[in-house]
């Protein structure tokens, strides 16, 4: 691997890390909006959050190297 390939990989790594941070910030902001706006949650609201929670659990398992 030459120096340029390593630099390209480093740049791509940093770019993806920044995107993950942006995604997490968006999730946190939208979750707070949802909490603030939902005064009387129904089962559809619960299902929406359960779906997101399940998907995030899969992502966390991948990140920490565990099977889910």
Closest CA to 30 of 49, 14, 47, 12: 49
| pLDDT for the residue numbered 68 | 73
Other beta carbons within 10 Å of 56: 12
pLDDT number for residue 1:
56
Q: What is the pLDDT of residue 3?
A: 67
Q: Cβ of 52: how many Cβ atoms within 10 Å?
A: 14
The predicted pLDDT at position 7 comes to 80
The CA distance from 14 to 3, in Å, is: 17
- Domain range summary for the chain, segments of one domain joined by +: 43-68
Query: Is pTM beyond 0.75 here?
Result: yes
DSSP conformation class of 51 = H
Along the 68 residues of the chain, how does pLDDT read in single tens digits?
Answer: 566 787 899 999 999 999 999 999 999 999 999 999 988 999 999 999 999 999 999 999 999 999 87
């Amino acid at each position: 691997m030459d120096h340029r390939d390593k630099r390209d990989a480093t740049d791509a790594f940093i770019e993806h890390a920044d995107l993950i941070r942006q995604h997490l910030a968006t999730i946190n902001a939208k979750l707070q909006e949802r909490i603030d706006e939902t005064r009387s949650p129904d089962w559809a609201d619960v299902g929406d959050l359960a779906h997101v929670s399940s998907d995030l659990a899969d992502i966390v398992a991948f990140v920490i190297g565990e099977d889910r």
